Amino acid sequence: MPLDALDAGGAVKERKVFLCLSVQAGGLTQSIAPSGPLSSASYSPGPCTPLATLFKFPAIPTTTFVLHLESKDVWTSNGVSAEVIDSSHRENSPAFRVNGAEPDSGRVDLRFLTVLTAIATQGAISRETQNGYYVKSYKLEVSTNGEDWMVYRHGKNHKVFQANNDATEVVLNKLHMPLLTRFVRIRPQTWHSGIALRLELFGCRVTDAPCSNMLGMLSGLIADSQISASSTREYLWSPSAARLVSSRSGWFPRIPQAQPGEEWLQVDLGAPKTVKGIIIQGARGGDSITAVEARAFVRKFKVSYSLNGKDWEYVQDPRTQQPKLFEGNMHYDTPDIRRFDPVPAQYVRVYPERWSPAGIGMRLEVLGCDWTDSKPTVETLGPTVKSEETTTPYPIDEEATECGENCSFEDDKDLQLPSGFNCNFDFPEEPCGWMYDHAKWLRSTWTSSSSPSDRTFPDDRNFLRLQSDGRREGQYGRLISPPVHLPRSPVCMEFQYQATGGRGVALQVVREASQESKLLWVIREDQGGEWKHGRIILPSYDMEFQIVFEGVIGKGRAGEIAIDDIRISTDVPLESCMGM
């Protein structure tokens, strides 16, 4: 990034075309944005926990980068890359090219297979001239390896997503069918003034659903000797090449156009497991076969299972009590998850029933857990957003929800709020159900200068404060909630917070359960002297857990962190609980 990209105040100097991405990976936020990351009236400054807990793109980054596309450099950091675009294009042109090829407007590497369910976009305004730039429409491309790309379709046609109508509005597009992918690429189709794109992605891990661990095909825990097939074409396309994603080719049977149900691919899991689904992917051939045969996939298939490798049963359709015919792939690179009721199995077979014109080609992974293990490891969410009415070329049932039943936001009418959770810390003799170190977190009283101007409170006069004068060895304090149990529905948690003290302060919210801790929300650096309104989605979770606020003031730093009015809100829609 050129050093003159920002002026002394951190504002963007005027450019005709620029690109913005806001992405967090591995707990470190990296952003390129002309006026900050994704924010609007509903995305006010402050950390953001999207509906999908996998991708948290806070609205205030720790570091801001600006990419000037005219520089013809490629910026790559933390798994996010953007190919540079020439600015010599016409406004509202349906496409633009660099050196005769369409550019990558923005490519995000999610680092592992992820169920993508929605995309939020926003334009940007130059701080110097107040000119607005935004993308009006775009296409979505996905890939599992960064080389073989598929354009997202609605029916038989490429889907053109309608994006922004101004530079500040956040537009959320829900995918009518979730996608399993690792790489995501946005291709602007029309825009205003120039291309500026700020981006958030929503989704969840495959393994977030209960009993949905990958059982060893992708990781290599299943040895080559444990993978077999009815036949194979050549060594390069043997059963051992049928590993999901990690194989660059895949399994091809000896006869490309066999009889339905004649060929099969089998996996020995090594021990009895509870099996709840498979991920199926097409295959790509090599130079020794024709281009037509090089990209093959299975359109429909059946699954059978056995504990001893001799006595086999098919996975049944619960509605007909007949062997279930599963929908397969629509593209050779894009995987699809197909789930079913749990079955005990050591051996799993997939029988292709229908396939692409190129014949049968397959890679796969088996999903499940230990025979006695049926508890999920982490939560999962999917967004509830506006979506245009659509029809799909194949039925959508529970097998297509990808992340399992937790990927929905059905209202839980029987939600019981945990006792003592909602708290304004006004009464020292009754500190609600929250626990904290009274020597670190001090009760303070509002003053007219410290009260947030947009709040009203009849009796709410006190808050908790963690403070350091800069001479101590820093400060660290934890504020721990009463136990919470949300097995059915996610909820929205709201709170007020303040953080001052430069780069030496941090405030984060963690969900702690008996077996794991998960970061839900974090801010770093000074947030200014004003009080801010925070909102976090607490995902549904089968086990009891506690919410922990952790405040940190660094060594030798003078600063203050304050918290007040923590509550679970039952009147805030979840789609409105993602941008504060």
* Domain range list for the chain: 3-206, 213-370, 435-576
Determine the pLDDT at residue 454: 42
Predicted structure pTM score: 0.50
Task: Look up residue 213 and give its amino acid.
Answer: N
Q: Give 282-297 pLDDT, tens digit per residue.
A: 887 654 454 445 688 8
Cα–Cα nearest to 507, from 476, 536, 546: 476
In angstroms and rounded to an integer, the radius of gyration of the C-alpha atoms of the chain is: 26
| Closest of 374, 379, 407 to residue 539, by C-alpha | 379
For residue 100, which amino acid is it?
G
Token pair 């890939």: residue: 143
Two structure tokens written together for 26: 């591995």
- Measure the CA–CA gap between 396 and 390, rounded to whole angstroms: 12
CA distance linking residue 32 with residue 76, whole number of Å: 11
Which has the closest alpha carbon to 46: 519, 511, 527, 423? 527
Least trusted range by pLDDT, from 58-72, 247-261, 343-357, 361-375: 58-72
Least confident of 118-132, 381-395, 435-449, 475-489: 381-395
What is the distance between the alpha carbons of residues 304 and 81, in angstroms, rounded to a whole number? 42
Going through 164-264 in order, the beta strands assigned E by DSSP cover: 171-192, 198-205, 213-214, 227-229
What pLDDT, on the 0 to 100 scale, is given for residue 474? 67
**Residue 255 in this model has a pLDDT that exceeds 80:** no
What mean pLDDT comes out for the span 461-488? 76
Per-residue pLDDT, 81: 33
Half-sphere exposure of 105 (CA within 13 A, CB side): 29
Assign 389 a pLDDT band (cuts: 50, 70, 90). very low
Judged against a pLDDT cut of 90, whether residue 367 lies above it is answered with yes
CATH homologous superfamily, domain 3-206: Galactose-binding domain-like (2.60.120.260)
Residues 69-83 have a mean pLDDT of 30
The dihedral over CA atoms of 110, 113, 119, 121, expressed in degrees to the nearest 10, equals: 10
104-123 pLDDT, tens digit per residue, is 446 788 887 888 888 888 88
Q: How far apart are CA 40 and CA 515, in angstroms?
A: 37
Domains 3-206 and 213-370 agree in fold:
yes
Query: Rounded distance, CA 241 to CA 224, Å?
Result: 8
- pLDDT, averaged across the chain: 69
Region 147-172: mean pLDDT is: 86
Share of the chain above pLDDT 70, in %: 64
* E runs forming strands in 216-334: 227-229, 265-281, 283-284, 295-296, 298-306, 313-314, 316-317, 322-323, 326-327
pLDDT band at 69 (very low <50, low <70, confident <90, very high): very low
Is residue 33 within 8 Å of 22, Cβ to Cβ? yes
pLDDT band at 428 (very low <50, low <70, confident <90, very high): low
Q: What is the pLDDT of residues 300-359, one digit of tens each?
A: 999 999 999 999 999 998 888 899 999 888 888 888 899 998 999 999 999 999 988 888
CATH (residue range 435-576): 2.60.120.200
pLDDT of residue 32: 31
Structural fold of domain 213-370: Jelly Rolls (2.60.120)
Q: What is the 3-state secondary structure (H, E, C) of 411-476?
A: CCCCCCCCCCCCECCCCCCCCCCCEECCCCEEEEECCCCCCCCCCCCCCCCEEEEEEEECCCCCEE
